[in-house]
Structure 1
Amino acid sequence: METKNGNRTALYDEHIKLNAKMIDFHGWEMPLEYTGIIDEHLAVRNHVGIFDVSHMGDIVIKGDDAAAFCDYIFPGKVSDMKNGQCMYTAFLNKDGRIIDDTIIYRLSEKRFFFIPNAANIDRIYNWVNSNKNDYNVEIKNYSYNISHIAIQGPDSLKILDEMKIKYPGEFKFNYHNTESYNDVSEDNSIIVSGTGYTGEIGVEIIVPNKDATILWEDLIKKIKDYYGKPCGLGSRDTLRMEKGMLLSGQDFNEDRTPYEASISFIINYNHDFIGKEALIKNRNEYNEIFRGFILNGRNIPRQNCDIIYNNEVVGIISSGSYSPSLNRGIGLGYIKKDIKIKTTVKIKIREKLFDAEVSRPKMLK
C-alpha cells in the first residue's frame, strides 16, 4: 500500500509555506491552525475557509453483490440510494454500538465508496473484509492515494462559480474535470461532494494526490477576495461542536448506540444488518442521550467533566470548547435522557461548578 509521504498528506509542504502550526493527529502531521483558531472559525461562519482533510480514508466496494453487502454492513438501506447520492451512516458491532461513522457514496449500480475516519482506516478496512462472507464483492483501500479538500462557508458557492464547478446539492455529488484515479471515479473525474464537517454550506473535493497542490494553490488565491482563510483542525473541531457533530473516538468509542448518540435517523429496519437484533431488543432500554451544553460564561468544559443535577452526577462531557460564535463555553456529552432540553445543570470544571443549559446537540442554528 502506498503511503502519503509517511503520514504526511500531499499538501504538507503547502501548510509549511503558510506557517501552519503542525500537530500529530492519529499518526498524521496535520495543521492545527494558521492565523488562529478563532480567526479561522469565524472566517468559515461568515465567509469561507478551506481545509486539508486528506487524512480521512477512501475505501471502494464493487461487484455484483455490492449493494446487498453494503445493506448488510450499514444500518441504512444503501441499496435505495440513487447514483450520485451520498448518505451519513455508521458501522455497528453485533451489540448495535457505533464502531465508526462515515459517508457512503453510490458511484454506480455496482460500485460504492465510503470514507472512514483517519484513526480507523485500517481497522475499518479489516472489519469490512472480515464480514465479506460469501458476498461477491471486491474491497479496495485507496486511502493513501487520494486527497480531500473542503471548501466551507456561505461564500463557498461563489468560489465554485469562479472555478466553473457546479454545486451538487447537500449529500449529492457530481464529477468534474478529466483526471483518473482508480475505481473511485467511474467516469475518470474528480468528485465534488456536497458534504462537510462544519455545519455550513460547502463541498469536499476528492482528487488524486498529484492534483491536490494545484487545486489548493488556486483556492488560496481565490478565498482572499472573500475574506477567506486556510483552516486547521482546531477550527474544524470548534465548528463541528457548535453544530453537534460527533467525533469518532471521543463522542463514541464502540460504547454507544445510534439511539444514545442522537443519530437514530441512520437506522432503517426494513433490511437485515449487523447489530439489528441488538438494536431492536434494546432501543427503548438506554438511559443516556447525546446533548449539547451551553455555559453561562467562557469557562470551558473538557472531556470527562461531570454533569450534575440536583446534587447527583447525571452525565459526562465527551467534547468541550470555547464557542467563537456564541462567545461562551460549550460541551457535548451524555446525560440521563429524562432531563429535558433547557434544563439548567452544573458542570464540574477543575473542582468548581458552573451553570449550563441543556441543549440539542446542534447548539448553533
Structure 2
Amino acid sequence: MPLYYRSIIEEHMAVRKHVGIFDVSHMGDVTVSGKDASAFLDHMFPTKVSNLKNGECVYTAFLNDSGLMIDDTIVYRMGEDSYFFVPNAGTTEKIYRWVSDHSAGYSVKIENVSNRISSIALQGPESEEVLNELGFSYPGYFKFQYVSGKYMNAITGKDQIIISGTGYTGEKGVEFIIPNEHAVELWKKLLEAINKRNGLPAGLGARDTLRMEKGMLLSGHDFNEDRDPYEASVSFIVNNDEDFVGKKNLEIRRRSDHEIFRGFVLSDGIPRNGNPIKAGGKRVGTVTSGTISPVLNKGIALGYIDKAYSKENTEVMIEIRSVDHKAVVTKPRIVK
C-alpha cells in the first residue's frame, strides 16, 4: 500500500464525496475457537464479547494488567464457539503472544492466519451502489455476512467470502476479507466499478487524514500502552461486569484525574505529533496526530489535554516550531 496513488487530497475527497478502495491486507487476523471461546474473550476484553450475536462485530481494545490500552481491534463472532479479531499490523505478533499467554485453563484454539488473508476496504457514500453492481449487498453497520462464491475463505475454510460493515474512514462502507490468491481479481473488479463513479484507490496518506477528521485512534501513535479507555475517549468499550485483564487497575485509574483525548482546529499552521498544547501560558496537553484537513482546509489535530480545558470551543494555543498558533477544542470527531 503506497502513501498515495495520485495525491492524498484527491483520494481523500474521492472517499468523502464518492467512493474509494484501500488495500488493508497488512492488518492482522487471529481466530479463537473452542468450547471456552466466549468465556476466554470475555476475560481478555473490557467489552462483553459474548453478547455478540453470530454475524455481529464490535470495536474494543486489549488492556495490559495496568488497565492501559495495548491495541484496539474489532472482534467478529462467527459462530457459537468461534470468533476472530483484527489487530493492527504492527502489533499482530505481540497480540497473538499476549492472547496465547493468557489462554491457560481455557479450552480454546488460537491461530494467527494473517499471512493467508487479504482485506480490501470499499469506503464512501457510493459504496453500496458498487456492492450492488457486483452482486453483493450491504450487511449493516458492524455486521458481517458470508457470501457464497468461488472465493474460498481462509478463516472459515468454506466456499465463502466475508463482507463486513466496518471501516476506518467515517464513511459508509465495507471490508472484504478474502484469501490472498483472489485479492488481485477482486481489487480489479472494484477498481473498474469505482472508476465509473469518480472513485479512486487510496493510499496510507488518505487513510490517515480520513481517520483523523473523524477522531479515530491510531494504535502506536495516539496511544502506546500509556492511555486507558477513559483517557482515549472510548469509555463505551468498558461494559463487562465480569473480571477481565486490567479491570482492577482500570477502576482505580477511572477515579483518577487524567488528560482526555480531544480534537483541535487551528486558525493556521499544520500540527504534528508531539506539539505542545498550551493555555494560560502553560502546557496543558500534547498533540498525538496532526494534518491539514482536506474538508475544512485547515490544520487539525488529535491529542490529550487537561480536562479543565477540554470543553468544546475552548481556545488554546498549539506550538509549532516555537510559534504559538490559535486553536479551538472539539470532540475527537472533528468533521461531523
**How high is the TM-score relative to the length of structure 1?**
0.90
SS in 2 for 1:55: coil
* Displacement after TM superposition at 1:177 (Å): 2.6
- Mapped partners of 1:281, 1:39: distance in 2: 46
- Mapped partners of 1:116, 1:211: distance in 2: 22
The question of whether the paired residues in 2 share the 8 Å contact of 1:260 and 1:286 is answered with no
1:181 to 145, 153, 157: 153
Letter in 2 for 1:351: S
Letter in 2 for 1:319: S
**1:1-365 correspondence to structure 2 within 5 Å:** 30-178=1-149, 179-182=151-154, 184-185=155-156, 187-297=158-268, 299-339=269-309, 340-365=311-336
The question of whether the paired residues in 2 share the 8 Å contact of 1:88 and 1:266 is answered with yes
- Mapped partners of 2:256, 2:159: distance in 1: 48
* Displacement after TM superposition at 1:186 (Å): 6.5
* Displacement after TM superposition at 1:187 (Å): 4.5
SS in 1 for 2:3: strand
* Displacement after TM superposition at 1:257 (Å): 0.2
- Mapped partners of 1:181, 1:210: distance in 2: 10
The question of whether the paired residues in 2 share the 8 Å contact of 1:106 and 1:113 is answered with yes
RMSD: 0.9
Letter in 1 for 2:75: I
- Mapped partners of 1:186, 1:167: distance in 2: 23
* Displacement after TM superposition at 1:280 (Å): 1.4
1:269–1:281 distance in 2 versus 1, CA, 3 Å: farther
- Mapped partners of 1:295, 1:188: distance in 2: 50
Residues 193-243 of structure 1 show CA distances to partners (whole Å, capped at 9, x for unaligned) of 000000000000000000100000011111011100000000000000000
The question of whether the paired residues in 2 share the 8 Å contact of 1:108 and 1:186 is answered with no
* Displacement after TM superposition at 1:279 (Å): 1.3
- Mapped partners of 1:251, 1:295: distance in 2: 19
Structure 1 residue runs without a partner (length 5+): 1-29
* Displacement after TM superposition at 1:185 (Å): 2.5
Structure 2 residue runs without a partner (length 5+): none
SS in 2 for 1:285: coil
**How high is the TM-score relative to the length of structure 2?**
0.98
Of 342-351 and 264-273, the range deviating more from structure 2: 264-273
Q: Which runs of 4+ in 1 moved over 3 A?
A: none
The question of whether the paired residues in 2 share the 8 Å contact of 1:107 and 1:186 is answered with no
The question of whether the paired residues in 1 share the 8 Å contact of 2:42 and 2:240 is answered with no
- Mapped partners of 1:273, 1:186: distance in 2: 31
- Mapped partners of 2:64, 2:117: distance in 1: 28
- Mapped partners of 1:164, 1:52: distance in 2: 21
The question of whether the paired residues in 2 share the 8 Å contact of 1:85 and 1:106 is answered with yes
Letter in 1 for 2:153: Y
Letter in 2 for 1:363: I
* Displacement after TM superposition at 1:180 (Å): 2.5
* Displacement after TM superposition at 1:273 (Å): 0.6
Other-structure match for 1:4: none
The question of whether the paired residues in 1 share the 8 Å contact of 2:146 and 2:162 is answered with yes
Letter in 1 for 2:299: G
Residues 50-105 of structure 1 show CA distances to partners (whole Å, capped at 9, x for unaligned) of 00000000000000000000100011001110000000000000111000000000
% same residue:
54
Q: How many residues align?
A: 334
Letter in 2 for 1:85: E
Residues 89-147 of structure 1 show CA distances to partners (whole Å, capped at 9, x for unaligned) of 00000111000000000000010000000000110001100010110000001101100
The question of whether the paired residues in 1 share the 8 Å contact of 2:78 and 2:84 is answered with yes
The question of whether the paired residues in 2 share the 8 Å contact of 1:175 and 1:191 is answered with yes
